[in-house]
Amino acid sequence: MILTAHNLNYRYRGNKKDTLHDVSLELRKGEICGIVGTNGAGKTTLISLLATILPLGEGTLTIDGITADKRNLHRMEMCKRISMIPQNPAIYERLTGRENLRYFARLHGMDERGGRLSKRVDELLEAVGLHHKGDELAGTYSGGMKRRLNLAAGLVHGPKILFLDEPAVGIDARSRHLIMTLLRELKKEMTLLYASHYLEEVEQLCDRVLLLEGGTIVNQTKKRRSGFYLGKRYRSLFGTDKKETKKKGGNS
């Protein structure tokens, strides 16, 4: 297993109730695992905890053989192996797309020896369909382009695990298609954990899905020929059968 988490609990300061309660999961190398749940189910908190953005409270977390501890002694080593794509793009709008990627590459210790950095930046701009926009300010990009650049920034150091928090929500059809196509290709190189509250997205992409309700994993299933079946629990939570799940539209 590339990631193992046991009995994770997390409570935000000032809250009387845990946001996550007794969550355990494992990720296998080369799989795309989905997390579905309604707003407030704890998806972002879980991904942020697994990505070491939030401090480990109760429970254990091991990533690529490195076990986290409450003092964050091994956090830097873990961060070399993982990356998180947040729901809201974390890019610098006053920099060009190319400058953004060069900046994040340098944060991960990449340099220009042998042209390695420039080559990596060019590859990523091409992969996300922004090669023709690389020298334009990111602030001039459409919402979908910013999300694509955000994805490229998260891939710059070649992580082993990629955490994605609804990366395709509210974007145009072309950007959605490019992102989904790239994520399927990335499965050859890394493990992905994809959070969404749209089962249709998860069905297109994932090998396995976990249902998160009230901060606890209440069901999980592997993909069948007809897709995923999460049972009556899913329909009662979302108020619809999975066949009726609609695509979310968005701006361009």
Domain extents in the chain: 1-81+160-252, 90-158
What does the pLDDT average to over 131-160?
Answer: 95
Q: What is the rounded CA–CA span in Å between residue 89 and residue 177?
A: 18
Q: How many CB atoms lie within 10 A of CB 206?
A: 25
What does the pLDDT average to over 172-191?
Answer: 91
Q: What is the pTM of this model?
A: 0.86
Confidence band, pLDDT 50/70/90 cuts, at residue 232: low
**Right CATH number for 1-81+160-252 from 3.40.50.300, 3.40.630.30, 3.10.290.20, 3.30.420.40?**
3.40.50.300
CB burial of residue 59 (10 Å; 0-12, 13-18, 19+): middle
CB burial of residue 122 (10 Å; 0-12, 13-18, 19+): middle
Residue 228 clears pLDDT 70, i.e. is over it: no
Q: How many CB atoms lie within 10 A of CB 115?
A: 9
**Is residue 147 a contact partner of residue 167, using CB atoms and an 8 Å limit?**
yes
**Bridging pattern class, strands 191-196 and 32-36:** parallel
Confidence band, pLDDT 50/70/90 cuts, at residue 219: confident
Residue 15 clears pLDDT 70, i.e. is over it: yes
Looking at every residue in the chain, the average pLDDT score rounds to: 86
Rg (CA), the chain: 18
What does the pLDDT average to over 202-226?
Answer: 82
Residue 199 clears pLDDT 60, i.e. is over it: yes
The confidence score (pLDDT) of residue 201 equals: 80
Confidence band, pLDDT 50/70/90 cuts, at residue 242: very low
CB burial of residue 187 (10 Å; 0-12, 13-18, 19+): middle
